Amino acid sequence: MDIQALQQKAIELRKATWKMIYAAKTGHTGSDLSCTDILVALYYRVMNQTAATFTDPNRDRYIQSKGHAVEILWNVLADRGYFPKSDLKTYSQFKSPYMGHPNNHVKGVEMNTGSLGHGLALSVGIAKAAKMNGQSYHTYTLMGDGEQAEGSVWEAAMAASNFKLDNLTAIIDHNGLQITGKTVDVMNSEPLKAKYEAFGWHVLEVPGNDMQALVDALEAEPQMGKPTLVLADTTKGSGVKFAENKAEWHHKVPTAEQYQEALDDFDRQLKEVAK
């Protein structure tokens, strides 16, 4: 997809996710909206993986360490044909596999995630296995910035550099907020760019809701012998003006009035992109 098509797809998927959360009356709304552009760039442009190749040993791998933002992942996978879109009508219902965190009973999910701090370590193991087995696939993982308070993240970061995993790209959804407030107030892990560089990573800091910037960073040639970190400076609740940069929207369901207001604005955004 070209950049305009990716931008349009991101709006469409924000709208679909917004509708699913409203119908289910549950969801990590602000978190979904902040990382939508990242998932769209990966699944529609960057990654060598499709529904048809999901069992191919040489497919690229994706681990969503930030597992609570699962609603957007479910919508991306459904839109890409991993399972029927109609399945999502069961989201968060009893016995539905489409629960509030990724689980590998669903096609398209490599690993169960959601316990924060585990995704990078899992990805280090997957990337190291590729090196050991002489395979060419690339591993991607998405973390939150609040997640950087977990010590296991830094153990994994150190290991990735030690093993020279230039086939690993980690992305941080750097929106500055978590469920209890600003990340710098809850547990300040800044400066993330300098810290990852000190751990031996190649770091690219980009505006994380800018599709062109994301694609350029994710498609850049890796530095030999170094894992890559894309530090994506995003907006919590991106695309819904009244939810942007508000910690209360980390996990919140819109009212009927808010629901319709956002739907109308998504339609306006789609018209703008189409010009």
pLDDT digits (tens, 9 = 90+) for 1-30: 999 999 999 999 999 999 999 999 999 999
For domain 3-274, give the CATH superfamily: Thiamin diphosphate (ThDP)-binding fold, Pyr/PP domains (3.40.50.970)
- Span 148-188, pLDDT tens digits: 999 999 999 999 999 999 999 999 999 999 989 999 999 99
Predicted TM-score (pTM) of the model is: 0.97
**How far are the Cα atoms of 8, 101, 212, 226, 233 from residue 180, in angstroms, in the given order?**
32, 19, 31, 34, 19
206 with 38: CB under 8 angstroms? no
The domain ranges of the chain are 3-274
